[in-house]
Amino acid sequence: DAKTTQPNSMESNEEEPVHLPCNHSTISGTDYIHWYRQLPSQGPEYVIHGLTSNVNNRMASLAIAEDRKSSTLILHRATLRDAAVYYCILRDVFGGAGSYQLTFGKGTKLSVIP
Amino acid sequence: DAGVTQSPTHLIKTRGQQVTLRCSPKSGHDTVSWYQQALGQGPQFIFQYYEEEERQRGNFPDRFSGHQFPNYSSELNVNALLLGDSALYLCASSLDARGRLGEQFFGPGTRLTVL
């Protein structure tokens, strides 16, 4: 899996939008961009994924740059429950035997201020 | 619908001992992956089981072994425990038919402390 780069930490005020960036300059054409988050004392949970177009679901939006070398996870109104470590992960949908795993970096620790 | 469950929640062992951790996947899932998460780090992939066989393995020594049962549940075994094996062990299940786009659903983990 190609490497991703994320800031170590970010802060947001409650009820304000949050934009979490991810750089993946070596992304290949068959890499999907996945986001997972890990709340304190819990296992990671899936947030969203996309290939080229922007994606929305009930949890978040994913904005993908036109050249696909970066993406941004958008939480429209941060709540205290959104305080977590957010991981940006690339998955090659046509990858070989080495691509079944999720390759986590250190992620971005998001703090939400009441 | 119960999600992924793991047992035990916490475990304390001494160096040189052996440990077995257990995982029941989310209902309908047929694939189980195991991850190790050291404090302050992201989870690291240990291996994945599908159809009762190890399909893929990460960079972990042979002391780490596993098993998948016909009901898709799984065990992770670690022999000759080292202090560095202290970590949170996470189990994740998925549906193979969804391929590499399928979500992995994680359990709450087992906290292993090696003294």
Query: Residue range B60-86: average pLDDT?
Result: 97
Residues 6+ apart with CB under 8 A from B98: none
Nearest-angstrom CA–CA distance, B23 and A68: 37
Q: What is the pLDDT of residue A100?
A: 80
- Complete DSSP assignment for B78-108: E-S--GGG-EEEEEEEE-GGGGGGSPPEE--
Q: What is the pLDDT of residue A101?
A: 86
Alpha-carbon distances of B92 from A6, B102, B113, rounded to whole Å = 23, 12, 21
A30 pLDDT above the threshold of 90: no
Contacts of B56 in chain A (CB under 8 A): 97-98, 100-101
Place of tokens 């000759």: B80
Q: Which amino acid is at B46?
A: I
More confident residue, A30 or A21: A21
- Share the mean pLDDT of chain A: 92
Contacts of B58 in chain A (CB under 8 A): 101
- What is the pLDDT confidence band of residue B96, given thresholds at 50, 70 and 90? confident
How far is the alpha carbon of A5 from chain B, nearest alpha carbon, in Å? Answer: 13
3-state secondary structure at position B96? helix
Query: Residue range B31-41: average pLDDT?
Result: 96
How far is the alpha carbon of A65 from chain B, nearest alpha carbon, in Å? Answer: 20
A2 pLDDT above the threshold of 70: no
Task: Let me know: does A20 contact A6? Beta carbons within 8 Å.
Answer: yes
Query: Residue range B75-100: average pLDDT?
Result: 92
Q: Using CB atoms, pick whichever of A43, A97, A98 lies closest to residue B90.
A: A43
Nearest Cα residue to B93 out of B7, B8, B28, B10:
B28
Q: What is the pLDDT of residue B92?
A: 97
B111 pLDDT above the threshold of 70: yes
Nearest-5° angle of CA B32, CA B110, CA B48? 20
Parallel, antiparallel or unpaired: strands B31-37 and A84-92: unpaired
A98 pLDDT above the threshold of 60: no
Q: How far is C-alpha B47 from the geometric centre of its chain's CA atoms?
A: 8
Q: Provide, rounded to the nearest whole percent, the portion of chain B with pLDDT above 70.
A: 99
Nearest-angstrom CA–CA distance, A10 and B14: 38
Nearest-angstrom CA–CA distance, B90 and B106: 7
A1 pLDDT above the threshold of 70: no
Q: What is the pLDDT of residue B99?
A: 72
Q: Taking CB atoms and an 8 Å cut-off, how many pairs form between chains A and B? A: 64
Say yes or no for a CB contact (<8 Å) between A43 and B56. no
More confident residue, B100 or A4: A4
